[in-house]
Amino acid sequence: MNAYLTLAVAIVAEVIATSALKASEGFSKLGPTAIVAVGYGVAFYFLSLTLKSMPVGVAYAVWSGAGIVLISAVGWFAFGQKLDLWAVIGMGLIVTGVLVVNVLSTSGGH
């Protein structure tokens, strides 16, 4: 399986798990707590597959950068959390950094 595909699955699973973590209210709600456990299990399994063919630093940069942006979007849409201009600028810089690593760097193993 393609490393970027397994990484995308890992990122989506992590975002779902983190969103459920907020909804679990300190693990006091069974449904969201189960989603957290399964989601993180799926996320780490697919991240481990990614690391077979992609350097850990590059994979983690993409994982964390995309995760920050996506979970911030979920927080905004699903939980009504606000993002100020500096937060948006910071996330833009994170996305720019991930793009630089993946498009310009030869470290990505592609």
Dump pLDDT digits (tens) for 94-106: 989 888 887 887 7
Average the pLDDT over 66-72 and give the result.
93
Mean of pLDDT over the chain: 91
More reliable by pLDDT, 108 or 98: 98
Q: What is the 3-state secondary structure (H, E, C) of 54-102?
A: CCHHHHHHHHHHHHHHHHHHHHHHHHCCCCCHHHHHHHHHHHHHHHHHH
- pTM assigned to the model: 0.86
Measured CA to CA in angstroms, residue 98 lies from 8, 59, 68, 78, 82 at distances of 14, 10, 12, 25, 24
Dump pLDDT digits (tens) for 13-63: 999 999 999 889 999 999 999 999 999 999 999 999 999 999 998 898 899
